[in-house]
Chains A and B, each alone.
Chain A
């Protein structure tokens, strides 16, 4: 064992697929010594009532996120592209199933 003060178990982010047909969704995080333990802990912590049919865990440090300090308007480019949204297009009310 190392002489340094005992480091914390690494942090894992946990993703759960609620049921078949749905995406895995981030539900929280936990600490575990290794991947296998992380999956087991994730089951005990986040799915005590059949909340999931599948679990992903990933070391938090392995995640790359957009705009590290949130000071850059990373998402600004999509802000002015309203034509990407269905509501941009006016469709007469009597056209069904749109």
Chain B
């Protein structure tokens, strides 16, 4: 018995309506598949490119303890990228294609990783704010409608809390240090606050694909909802740390029960997304070099495997 396309679509819609998960071998509308490939790939690329800003500090960590922590954190991000590539491949794209699309600039990654890391305090700020924003984004995605994506998110979320806490602890340590160290923390937070807010994407009114993604259960919250949640979570943490955010409009709104805050510079955001951020070229060039430098290893391993098989 073969089901008609109409019946298949009906079955898909029913699964979504029941908040059930779609699995790789289920029938799905082409638009759903495409949207997921774009989102999961972009997410995977972000984890992989995200290793660079912090990875740059591994050799210059201030102590063996910090070095071990940073190594573990960056290794986790590689793992996150691999979980997500694995989820993306269940949608019928190959790993090679995904890598090519990243290197050729045909798929994007989070704009945040196009900002430079100028001091070791940035390692702390990234853990606190950037991983913090990522957690805000990722926790609801554990319930996303595509099974493999949701399962990858669950694994990732379990590991992210270490990332955020090590960052916050690093900053706390610096805040207990000298005036110069405290100034380093504030300067770092000043640079990362707005780019962190931009991680949630453009405002809802200018996010054309959001409604469809929500209808399909791929996204569970709008960009603005998540951004608000992040601001509300971050404010008491900033107070406890003793730093401020560079936003004169940031204040508690009793009536709304939320913090009001200013508008990120969306022109800057668009510029970074389009490839003209401070580090876009450097990030892609680095990824490309790493991929090309690794070619002989991939080839040698393939040749070795073939030899073993014929022996």
Q: Which residues of A contact B (CB under 8 A)?
A: 1, 6-9, 11, 27-31, 33-34, 37, 44-45, 48-49, 65, 67-73
Chain B binding surface, main DSSP class: helix
With both chains docked as a complex, state the minimum distance between the C-beta of A30 and any C-beta of chain B, in angstroms: 6
A7 and chain B: residue at smallest CB distance: B302
In whole Å, how far is B76's beta carbon from the nearest beta carbon of chain A? 7
Asked if B1 and A30 sit within 8 Å, CB to CB, the answer is no
Q: Does B96 contact A (CB under 8 A)?
A: yes
Q: Are B2 and A6 in contact (CB under 8 A)?
A: no
- Beyond contacts A28-B155, A49-B159, A73-B3: 5 other A-B pairs, Cβ-Cβ < 8 A, are A8-B96, A28-B86, A30-B86, A33-B305, A45-B79
Cβ–Cβ contact B299 & A1, under 8 A: yes
Question: B25, B83, B305: which contacts A28 (Cβ < 8 A)?
Answer: B83
CB-contacts of B120-161 with A (<8 A): 148, 151-152, 155, 159
- Flag the segment in B87-95, B170-178, B193-201 that touches A: B87-95
Q: Residue among B83, B90, B304 with the most chain A CB within 10 A? A: B83
B295 & A6 in contact (Cβ 8 Å cutoff): yes
Give A42 to B8 CA distance when docked, in angstroms. 35
Contact B301 A37 (CB under 8 A): yes
User: Can you list 7 A-B contacts with CB-CB less than 8 angstroms, sorted by A residue number?
Assistant: A6-B302, A7-B302, A8-B94, A8-B95, A8-B96, A33-B298, A34-B301
Q: How far, in angstroms, from A28 to B2 measured CA to CA in the complex?
A: 30
Instruction: Give which listed residue, B79, B86, B89, B309, contacts A48 with CB less than 8 A.
Output: B79
| Inter-chain contact B89/A1, CB cutoff 8 Å | no
**Total interface residues in chain B, CB < 8 Å:** 34
Q: How far is the CB of A18 from chain B (nearest CB, A)?
A: 13
CB distance from B154 to the nearest CB of A (A): 11
Q: Taking the nearest CB of chain A, how far is it from the CB of B299, in angstroms?
A: 6
Residue ID in chain B nearest A73 by CB atoms: B1
Contact B299 A28 (CB under 8 A): no
Does residue B282 face the partner (Cβ distance < 8 Å to A)? no
Complex alpha-carbon distance, A33 and B298, angstroms: 8
Q: How far is the CB of A85 from chain B (nearest CB, A)?
A: 19
Q: Is B285 an interface residue (CB 8 A)?
A: no
Do A72 and B308 touch (CB < 8 A)?
A: no
A16 to B145, CA, bound (A): 24
* Contact present for B305 and A45 (CB under 8 Å): no
CA distance A37 to B303 in the complex (A): 13
Complex: how many Å from CA A45 to CA B25? 24
Q: Interface code B276-311, partner A: CB below 8 Å = 1, 0 otherwise?
A: 000000000000000000010011011111001100
Nearest CB of chain A from residue B89's CB, rounded to whole Å: 7
Kindly state whether residue B19 has any CB partner on chain A within 8 Å.
no
Q: Which residue of A lies closest to B82 (CB)?
A: A45
> For A33, what are the chain B residues with a Cβ–Cβ distance below 8 Å?
298, 301-302, 304-305
Known A-B contacts A29-B86, A70-B25; the reply to A48 vs B75 at CB < 8 A is yes
Q: Does B27 contact A (CB under 8 A)?
A: yes
Distance between A47 CB and nearest chain B CB, rounded to angstroms:
10
Min CB distance B48 to A, Å, is 13
